[in-house]
Structure 1
Amino acid sequence: MGISAAEDSAMTRAFALALNGPRGVNPQVGAVLLAPDGTVVAEGWHRGAGTAHAEVDALSHLGPEGGRGLTAVVTLEPCNHQGRTGPCSEALLAAGISRVIFAVDDPSPEAGGGAERLAAAGVDIEQGFRRAEGEQLLASWLRTAELRRPHVTVKWAQSLDGRAAADDGTSQWITGPAARADVHRRRAAADAIVAGIGTILADDASLTARADDGTLVASQPQPVVIGRTPTPADAAVRRHPRAPLFYDTHSLPNVLSDLRDRGIQTVFVEGGPTLASAFLRAGLVDEVVVYIAPALIGGRNLALADIGVDTITDARRLSVASIDRLGDDLLVVARPSEGES
């Protein structure tokens, strides 16, 4: 039957409502309920794990007449499973909703299938309406749902000959101020920043995101430290605005699984050659961000260590997404080629 102007406007509103909810384990979802004449009857959004989903939140604002004959406009396909809350598909059916429009299919094998359930009960379904905008809104959550872990970016800085430090261990600063400012922008955009205990001990890294003048920016990543050596009580990372997470393990899949359970969707790994190499060796990297300084250092301290490549045919092939100049430095962003991990 097509999409009306009122339904199009309702989807715009639903996208805005979704942003009221927190980023976390569950997606940000907005919902708008329309009367047959296009009048907005109720609105809702998801306020976090364990709370009512957007559709149920909107239904809760209805009067005793319920939702009979109403249209639900939702940013994500209504769920079809019993979690901490009941299936949204069943709630919509019980309310008497006659039409459902949604932007993005739920990729979860556990929660998906709501549209099929509703259609089987005679509800008119319009799926994929303004899908691209919905996918943009949910981009990091969708990646996390697909990967079953957070999206991982590994960053390092190196000289032109591939060194991360001089033989005496000094590494500050290989790159210039423009590159360092870009690093802090990327830190601020990530949900978590991960470093190994070696970096914490060697550099007393604070794992904060800072502005050009050195002050802390408002959005700070969750600091994460991996390694079995205890972090000193006076370490700078312990003064981070957010309490650090410490993992006394070498199991990166277990770390990522726990971070996902905590609602972390994007991880920025900035822990030196040992940790970067471990993530690459384990096939847990979705993007590499490499800052290259026009300098020659030589010596032993390569930017990467063993990543499991014994012969050239085993080389990890990447696709270059972008190459940018930052002052005198180059920034290369690359991702595993199809079939690589």
Structure 2
Amino acid sequence: MRATREREQEQFMRRCFELSRLAAGSTSPNPLVGAVIVHQGRILGEGWHKKYGGAHAEVEAFRSVAAEDRRHIPESTLYVSLEPCCIHRNTPACTDLIRRERFKRVVISVRDPHPEVSGRGIEILKSAGIEVVEGVLAEEGRELIAPQRIYYEENRPYILLKCAQSANGFMGIRGRRVPITGALSQRLVHRWRKESDAILTGSGTFIVDNPLLTNRLWFGESPVRILLDRRGRLAQILPKRPQPHSPTLLFSSRPPAVPLPSSVEWLPYPEEPHALQKLMQELAARNIRRLLVEGGAEILRSFLQAGLWDEIRLGTAASSLAHTASEKELLIPTPQLPPEARWEQSFSLENDRWDIYKRKLPV
């Protein structure tokens, strides 16, 4: 009997996770959350938090319940991937709805890391006589809200390093723009951009590749652009190049001598030691929860050496990077994976292979 109940709980919690991911890239700074209402094994309603400022998952699930099924709510179980909120911000507290509708039982995966919630929502429900079960598929639940956990616990964004390499392990040829992966991979990367709050690259990549760093191949918005300019070169270059309308933060060691485009904000490059850590804290202060790093080998290596990474997405092309004898010394090797990188999954797109690595989150 107990094993059957546990299987049922996991089944419906996985559905919560599936629902939550439908809003990837639309809810930040809020987390992804899904909810399912179940009565005697039958789903009465389900929903997810669709966008920041909109109704939470519990409300969406309740609204989806048919009128003739509302009478079953007091005998139903609410499954939700994250502890229901108990604070009033853009929307009312979800604990108010749950108490008002007299749900019998609430099953959650993990507690909300928000310091104003973090267990208070559970206690409010228990005080109202509602049975609360927590910890169902907790590891996956923690992964789902990793950007929020890291923001509150480490005062920085969730950092995703994206890297593309040739079959023989090189990222490019110094001083030249060299496409590595194919068209489908490019479209996938634009999806990742849409799912991120900000995208970061360094001055070397910006000067050589002249990337727009925008989302043009997937639906949704473009992220904030972040340019790292430790050598103070970009303030002179940016005004000479057409710039997208996406907000851009230029962290540079040299103040601009000429007016920058209206979309660009200059900020001083943080002083050493721990310049990257200070920069990440500045991004956290701006409510950036998820950062995609699309830099060259130097930028990627800097993040790896500083221990500032949570996920690595490594794309490998089927072909080797061709080069002349004179170009051999200009080949850029891919930075080595850190020993704590844990392989998660692989998949193929056309002739490209993508490997996903994560660092195990603290419990």
Q: TM-score range by the shorter chain?
A: 0.5 to 0.7
1:28-47 counterparts in 2 under 5 A? 28-31=32-35, 40=44, 45-47=48-50
Which amino acid in 2 is paired with 1:75? Answer: V
How far 1:246 sits from its partner (Å)?
1.8
How far 1:262 sits from its partner (Å)?
6.9
How far 1:226 sits from its partner (Å)?
1.6
Which amino acid in 1 is paired with 2:206? Answer: I
Aligned to 1:185: 188
Aligned to 1:165: 173
How far 1:7 sits from its partner (Å)?
9.2
Are 1:298 and 2:328 an aligned pair? yes
Please, what TM-score do these two structures have when normalized by structure 1?
0.65
Aligned to 1:272: 296
C-alpha contact (below 8 Å) 1:224/1:244 kept by paired residues: yes
Which amino acid in 2 is paired with 1:189? Answer: W
1:311-326 counterparts in 2 under 5 A? 316-317=338-339, 319=341, 321=343
Are 1:88 and 2:94 an aligned pair? yes
Please, what TM-score do these two structures have when normalized by structure 2?
0.62
SS of residue matched to 2:189 = helix
C-alpha contact (below 8 Å) 2:176/2:208 kept by paired residues: no
Cα RMSD (Å): 5.0
How far 1:269 sits from its partner (Å)?
1.8
Which amino acid in 1 is paired with 2:305? Answer: R
* Structure 2: gaps spanning 5 or more residues: 152-156, 252-267, 271-275
* Structure 1: gaps spanning 5 or more residues: 211-215, 308-314
**Equivalent of 1:282 in 299, 306, 309:** 306
**Residue correspondences, number:** 311
How far 1:125 sits from its partner (Å)?
2.6
Quick one: distance in 2 between partners of 1:81 and 1:331?
Answer: 40
Are 1:71 and 2:76 an aligned pair? yes
Aligned to 1:115: 122
How far 1:24 sits from its partner (Å)?
1.7
**Equivalent of 1:105 in 110, 113, 119:** 110
Quick one: distance in 2 between partners of 1:250 and 1:80?
Answer: 37
Cα separation, partners in 2 of 1:88 and 1:271, compared to 1, 3 Å: same
Would you tell me which structure has more helix in proportion to its own residues?
2
Aligned to 1:203: 209
**Equivalent of 1:26 in 27, 30, 34:** 30
How far 1:257 sits from its partner (Å)?
5.0
Which amino acid in 1 is paired with 2:212? Answer: S
Are 1:143 and 2:146 an aligned pair? yes
Deviations along 1:15-58, one digit per CA (max 9) or x if unpaired, are: 67656753322123344556799794x76643544445333566
C-alpha contact (below 8 Å) 2:95/2:124 kept by paired residues: yes
C-alpha contact (below 8 Å) 1:31/1:58 kept by paired residues: yes
Quick one: distance in 2 between partners of 1:255 and 1:164?
Answer: 27
Cα separation, partners in 2 of 1:275 and 1:282, compared to 1, 3 Å: same
Aligned to 2:259: none
Cα separation, partners in 2 of 1:8 and 1:337, compared to 1, 3 Å: closer
Quick one: distance in 1 between partners of 2:83 and 2:311?
Answer: 31
How far 1:280 sits from its partner (Å)?
2.0
Cα separation, partners in 2 of 1:16 and 1:122, compared to 1, 3 Å: same
